[in-house]
């Protein structure tokens, strides 16, 4: 009574395979562009807000003369800085390859700019986790 | 600081709450917390000479 009938072999269920593929695609898209994963899951309001907020935060960070740390694995904190920056996805890679975000450590706004860029990347990581939960049906 | 607080509160409100009313309440709570705690922390740090 009230117990949901499960298929005999869940891996053979085409809906299950489709769900896994959709989850992976949405998470990957969200990692590339903030909010794109939610857009694929038709969560338009979240998608727009996440894209807007994270993009503004990243752009403001660059405007405040932040430095975009490259993939330098020489020291531990360098790795953390890189991960924080690169969490923003394609925005980071595009700007980094264009040579933007060279940073000016003498500027008053340098630390604030770095904080904005790190936070944009870390927020996008949270957004990807949210995409994962929604795609799996844990959240609506 | 205010721009930072607004953007972070907005993202957290949309991640953690659903429904416009719940999101608005949570957004205002987070924004107020950011602003008030920042001012309190600055006020406490003011007495330290470093």
In DSSP notation, A102-136 reads: B--TTSTTHHHHHHHHHHHHHHHHHHHHHHHHHHH
How far is it, in rounded angstroms, from Cα A5 to Cα A52?
A: 42
| B3 Cβ under 8 Å from any chain A Cβ | yes
- pLDDT band of A102, cuts 50, 70, 90: confident
Give per-residue pLDDT as tens, B10-40. Answer: 999 999 998 899 999 999 999 999 999 999 9
Residue A9: per-residue pLDDT: 55
Does the distance separating the beta carbons of A56 and B11 come in below 8 Å? no
How far is it, in rounded angstroms, from Cα A57 to Cα A111?
A: 14
Give the SS3 label for residue A67. strand
B47 vs A49, which has greater pLDDT?
A49
Question: At residue A83, does pLDDT exceed 70?
Answer: yes
Q: How many CB pairs under 8 A join A and B?
A: 29
Q: Which residue among B8, B10, B18 places its CB closest to the CB of A119?
A: B8
**Whole-model pTM?**
0.85
Residue A1: per-residue pLDDT: 45
| B7 Cβ under 8 Å from any chain A Cβ | yes
Residue B1: per-residue pLDDT: 87
């Amino acid at each position: 009574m009230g117990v949901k009938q499960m298929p005999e072999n869940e891996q053979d269920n085409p809906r299950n395979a489709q769900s896994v593929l959709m989850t992976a695609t949405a998470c990957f898209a969200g990692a590339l562009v903030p909010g794109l994963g939610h857009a694929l899951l038709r969560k338009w309001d979240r998608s727009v807000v996440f894209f807007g907020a994270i993009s503004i935060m990243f752009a403001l960070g660059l405007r405040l003369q932040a430095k975009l740390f490259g993939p330098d694995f020489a020291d531990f904190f360098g790795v953390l800085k890189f991960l924080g920056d690169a969490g923003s996805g394609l925005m980071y890679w595009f700007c980094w390859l264009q040579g933007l975000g060279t940073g000016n450590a003498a500027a008053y706004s340098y630390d604030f700019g770095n904080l904005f860029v790190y936070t944009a990347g870390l927020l996008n990581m949270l957004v990807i986790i949210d995409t994962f939960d929604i795609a799996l049906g844990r959240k609506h | 600081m205010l721009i930072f607080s607004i953007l972070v509160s907005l993202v957290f409100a949309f991640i953690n709450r659903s429904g416009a009313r719940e999101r608005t309440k949570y957004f205002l709570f987070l924004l107020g917390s950011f602003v008030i705690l920042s001012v309190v922390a600055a006020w406490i740090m003011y007495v330290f000479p470093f």
